[in-house]
Amino acid sequence: MKITKVEALPVTTPLQKPFVMPGTHITGIDSVVVKVHTDEGYVGFADSGDTSTWYRGETQESIIGMLCEHIAPRFLIGQDPRDIEKIVGWMDMFVRENNQAKATVDFALHDLKGKLLDVPVYQLLGGRCAEASVQGWVTSAGSPEQVVPEALTALEKGFCLIKLKTGHGSIDDDVATVKAVREAVGDDVRLTVDVNGFWNYDQALKTLRKLDPYHLECIEQPLPHWDIEGLARLRDKVGTPIFADESAQELHHLKEIIDRRAADGLFIKMQKAGGLLKAQRWLTMARLADMPVMSGCMIGSGLEASPSAHLMIANQWASQFTHENLGPLIIHGQWDTDAEGTPDDIARNVPVFSGGELYPNEGPGFGIELNEDFIARNITRDKTSRVVQ
């Protein structure tokens, strides 16, 4: 079996309501949908999820360019799509960085292989350790008046953890929001804060000392991605456990974080790790270091949510922890998909979110049928799809 054609489509999915993070006001998800075709008629699908210049530094243009100019002609066309380890190895050897582009290829190959073998992707990743992955809710950054009601509703809907984003106003405003949410939800609710790397060391030290009384379960990425040494210094001085997200990308970053004792836990996204195959190595390192993991999403469709949904129930280490793979819910302004129905999405059959848990589709592959009408209506303005064959 050979890969005969690769398609890359830029899609913009509008959000029901804007999502606010430091310096970022997202109103639509700009992603790349990839289709990998074979000479036997099987097609693998993937969705890159939202692109972001500050999180991954990859855009729709960079992903489509890297895929269509380099990866597809050199490492995909004419190759057997079942040889995922070989293709991922080639991509890593000859393409530096660009993990979101590489992950999108890896996702499509896993979907294709699941379809060929007529099994769900989680069966390729070790089988089932859990029925569903337990989810926390992530609030958009905002004032106490905006965030407190959202947090209370999320708890009512079954989410077991609330993650707050900073960056609505000043750092003092962020502290006021944490205080208000803690007072509203009570002492027993699991509460975390994600700074996305937007504080400097001095701000982080002073602010974390103010936040220590609210016993956060963790503070995520308080310092810029490059400052692993700073995370280690900070960790020595504050009581709140520190999780690394933007700092923890490739395996050598994990090794440095572990060697320097720079974090209490790690945050993984499949796109950051470079796909499902590399994510499994990533989780093995976390397990070896006895570090808890949370996984999240780039914010994306039911197709974007699928690779992580499959791995989080198949990986024994990851399946023990709480995740936040909420893309379809954030896009469509929903709390679940079973009671509220399946929204109009890149995927026709969004995986089931129910009572704060996420169930992967039963396959084959990711078990996703593309919504071609939706994709055709939402091709990103002024951008064009490309085909390599």
Secondary structure E strands in the chain:
3-21, 24-38, 43-47, 133-134, 137-138, 161-165, 190-194, 218-220, 242-244, 265-268, 293-295, 352-354, 357-359, 386-388
Q: How far is the CB of 243 from Mg ion (least distance, A)?
A: 8
Q: Which is nearer to Mg ion, 219 or 309 (CB)?
A: 219
Q: Which residue is nearest to Mg ion (CB)?
A: 245
Q: Which is nearer to Mg ion, 175 or 299 (CB)?
A: 299
Q: How far is the CB of 280 from Mg ion (least distance, A)?
A: 21
Q: Which is nearer to Mg ion, 100 or 337 (CB)?
A: 100
Q: Which is nearer to Mg ion, 165 or 182 (CB)?
A: 165
125 and 276 Cβ atoms separated by less than 8 Å? yes
Q: How far is the CB of 248 from Mg ion (least distance, A)?
A: 10
Strands 386-388 and 293-295: unpaired
Q: How far is the CB of 380 from Mg ion (least distance, A)?
A: 25
Q: How far is the CB of 138 from Mg ion (least distance, A)?
A: 9
What is the side-by-side order of every strand in the sheet holding 3-21?
43-47, 24-38, 3-21, 386-388
Measured from the Cβ of residue 171, the count of other Cβ atoms closer than 10 Å reads 17
| Residue 225 identity (one-letter amino acid) | H
68 and 38 Cβ atoms separated by less than 8 Å? no
Q: Which is nearer to Mg ion, 111 or 304 (CB)?
A: 304
Burial of residue 19, with CB atoms counted within 10 A of its CB: 0-12 exposed, 13-18 middle, 19 or more buried: buried
Q: Which is nearer to Mg ion, 22 or 126 (CB)?
A: 22
- Give the three-state DSSP class for 276: helix
- Say which residue the tokens 């024994």 belong to: 316
**Concatenated DSSP letters for 12-45?**
EEEEEEEEEETTEEEEEEEEEEEEEEETTS-EEE
Q: How far is the CB of 220 from Mg ion (least distance, A)?
A: 5
Spatial separation of the C-alpha atoms in residues 129 and 313, rounded to whole Å? 5
Q: How far is the CB of 245 from Mg ion (least distance, A)?
A: 4
Q: Which is nearer to Mg ion, 36 or 298 (CB)?
A: 298
Q: What is the CA radius of gyration of the chain?
A: 20
Q: Which is nearer to Mg ion, 161 or 375 (CB)?
A: 161
Spatial separation of the C-alpha atoms in residues 245 and 255, rounded to whole Å? 14
Q: How far is the CB of 218 from Mg ion (least distance, A)?
A: 11
Binding site for Mg ion (CB under 5 A): 194, 220, 245
